[in-house]
Structure 1
């Protein structure tokens, strides 16, 4: 498995943000769902080595997130919800900057591949600040996959996009999921139904569902994912 999580817990003061969760993920797209404050972002930050866990274990591509953090970061690409970019950099310049950080062999060739793969060719000579939100998301994805990681963590990658932009980003995620393990956090149920093969629902720090999309529906009398989500997270 590309991702393995065992009894993972994160405590802030007296609050358990993540409460002893366990799951694994193989190549494909895993939908990681939950209401605000459920523990999704905390879990993703632990997996990327951004914050340490309080207890439990997590590994990415066989590397422990706590003791082998550098190896984890070599094998992981992360697109946070905020998508931090340098607006005064040109698209190609920003990718060259990331390529230098990762010490990528033949960076120009790899940058050309990624620009084509992410559909950035028409905008490659523009400054990031001149791009639409859809193209800025593509730049964020391009930066995340430039070093060819086996695992991608995507936090709300389509937030605020128009329907045409959504289609393009979703197709890119589906294509990447054919060879990589992708953890996709989103509040958009249609997005999960469009791109995900496995679904985890977390509520108040605990996993309340972990199944394939089809099996989850079958176990809940064919209800929509939205209705299943509402029932499992006790949203009125």
Structure 2
């Protein structure tokens, strides 16, 4: 039963992905009859947490909170981490106090005891550095997928999907795909009604399949016909009806 959600924050955290986790799991929607979660933000290292946009988030450094989490979400921090030995990819070359190994140990222990660990966007680099993606299918933002595969060849990186659910370990592509992953987790743990109601409150589609492509290099067609455009709008509003040619004419 999904109840406790903990989000460890790394230096130069991406604000959007963090906001997604807060919106899905940290918002009290009991007025809609939805379950509430014990939702906590912590620092993933002893360093202060500053977003990529420069503002600081003041949260405690208490990795022991991960021991009781049902779900741990690792948002994108910087552009990821290189290796446990070379952590400058997330911490910066001058941050000699940025020790990620305690966090890695907690993430591995969480998976071993049956909790779920999820990453959004380049948070996959953190999971890979912890060894959690070895031999697993996974994804990250399409722009960083090749680098993830190069740095961690044991990970089975798929750059073409929105998210991957491999049981205890889940990964999503970049930015908005984090919404899809979080709603998928809610759906799998607590059913479609809860996930759909949260999506409705967030004003987002209730479901996009994880296998949907991240990126299609084709612009949306622009209809300039003054007569066809209203028809297309009407068809969109009446998809529950049969629309034979005679009706459209």
TM-score > 0.5, shorter chain as reference:
no
Which structure: larger Rg? 2
Range class of TM-score, shorter chain: 0.3 to 0.5
When the two structures are superposed, what TM-score results if normalisation uses the length of structure 2? 0.31
Q: Which has the higher strand share?
A: 1
Higher normalized contact order (CA 8 Å, seq sep 6+, divided by chain length): 1
